[in-house]
A and B are shown apart, each in its own frame.
Chain A
């Protein structure tokens, strides 16, 4: 597959702060790249540099095989951007807003009308065409924001934290839209600090912290970074100390904790850990409410790499 974006040694400093530190990565055609990192890790700065909205100290950026510069209008015409903040005209209706932004790219009136309606259908704002932004809820505004960014049917889309402070329904709608766009062959760069979104959405993931790439790869590749293999959670009332001590001695067990009636065991590796635990609890006649096993999450990966949690 072709590389749609090639970033090499990108470094961006704001006065003394290095917001992006020697970043290199590629984005392949048709994939969703997730830029995952906590607030302030440099996600927005990276995107702004790629788009030539910011000057940067070092690095080269190629999009569609050509160097990206502020006046690369042919490249720009194939890009759509959805910024973190909602960027619309308060004085214009939903329809007119999309019309304006689409009109910056598409001059043909008939074609534009078709494109606008496609965008409205995609984000599900059909009933709100004549509404003004003030009359929309936060979630619907986000959807409008997306429609404005993608109405011209770009080949490459950047989405910067499009789901922050959005109600669950709109959030699902937005995630579905992104999948639809990908299925239509669009390449997508998606930034977020929600690891769950990255897990369900992205083909390729870059974990950023303090402007540096901590890890990159597919979800499965990244999970290799986690030192644990499995996490088992059990809800037990009044567990005796000696039982905890005994479980600690099981093979493969990495760590064990018991707090507020929740027993949490992490395993380095091994098979049938859950079966063994259930058998053991039965033999000791320990009663439990809930028991479940989990694969490590990106949060565990992040924890492993930085020693801190990703969640805010």
Chain B
């Protein structure tokens, strides 16, 4: 009990740090966004698509092209494969759709001809994919029964229209989601910094060579002592996580009490776990207070910049985003961004988010394993 109580006494000494990062989150992740109610969205949600049509632009083929045109930005570039590959590489285009020769006739025969695509692999491209899939699925439902082309086109278009109305009504206000996303993206910085800073400082005090010696020679079982500290650290991380969850509910109110809102909270909980394991690892590695503030700055601030906690991910150079994959914050922010752009939430659309969770958890496990190795090595010497 003494150990547990002392843990919180020391945490209390550093409450200034906790307040600082929390105020920053409220100011930059919350208030400034709510104040700019009419701010234009950073995210252009329409993907950039190139259509390569090898069929005659007539009937069903024309209808597909029109549908894509209405739902995305069509990019006009030189009609060579090289130019198109460059466009994908430089992200001028997110998606290329190749309509094969004879497409229209095959549909009318009740077949489902294969449509080749090329994708840049980012969020925008997954939007394009969604648009195309939605059209093709609807078409494949009807082209077996309806043989008249005009009738088929009308039926497809009617269904697609209805469907999108349903979707829009079930969709959250995209502005609000963008704000929530940005709040949590910024929260990645506050969570990482607070948990790293406080846990490292407190554990440093407990593990200072000489204090540790005194604890070891006491009649308290040292293993039990360590378990208590681990428990207190985990509880601290959890409390910070809950604090920021409550903050998000205060700021965004009922928007948070939705499936989407709850998934944001789940993202945050999993990221907190990873931050905790990293903090525990760092605290077994550092041996001075100066080192702690150095590491917090490098890790928390550095990864916040690289992973898009402060600026929208879309503004970050692709090279940077590639590097930032080695940082847990990338996967957390990625999960927030995916959640922002996923229209319909179900198990298959949430799969990419689950992968982000998996990566964050794997990071956590790796940190725990390294930590165990480090402490074992220390004990031997």
Chain A residues close to B by CB (< 8 Å): 51-53, 70-71, 73-74, 76-77, 79, 81, 83, 85-92, 96, 99-101, 103-105, 107, 148-149
Contact = CB atoms under 8 A, between A and B. Distances in A.
B211 interface: yes
Nearest 8 pairs of A and B residues by beta carbon: A103-B2, A77-B219, A87-B210, A104-B218, A91-B13, A91-B10, A104-B220, A76-B219
Given A70-B216, A107-B1, 14 more contacts: A52-B217, A71-B221, A73-B221, A76-B217, A76-B218, A83-B210, A87-B211, A96-B6, A96-B9, A100-B2, A100-B6, A104-B215, A105-B218, A148-B214
11 contacts: A52-B217, A53-B213, A76-B217, A76-B218, A87-B214, A89-B205, A91-B205, A103-B3, A104-B2, A104-B215, A107-B1
Of listed A73, A104, A105, residue having the most chain B CB within 10 A: A104
**A interface: dominant SS:** loop
Of listed A79, A91, A103, residue having the most chain B CB within 10 A: A91
A81 B205 contact: no
Interface of B: 1-3, 5-6, 9-10, 13-14, 205, 208, 210-211, 213-221
Contacts of A79: 217
A132 B220 CA distance: 25
B222 to A, nearest CB: 9
B208 A92 contact: no
A237 B195 CA distance: 74
Nearest to B221: A73
Contacts of B210: 83, 85-87
Contacts of B3: 100, 103-104
Nearest to B12: A91
Contact of A51 (B13, B217, B219): B217
Nearest to A81: B217
A53 B210 CA distance: 12
Contact of B218 (A52, A85, A101): A101
A90 B289 CA distance: 11
B9 A103 contact: no
Contacts of A96: 6, 9
Nearest to A88: B211
Contact of B214 (A70, A74, A81, A90): A81
Contacts of A87: 208, 210-211, 213-214
A91 B2 CA distance: 15
Contacts of A85: 210
B214 A101 contact: yes
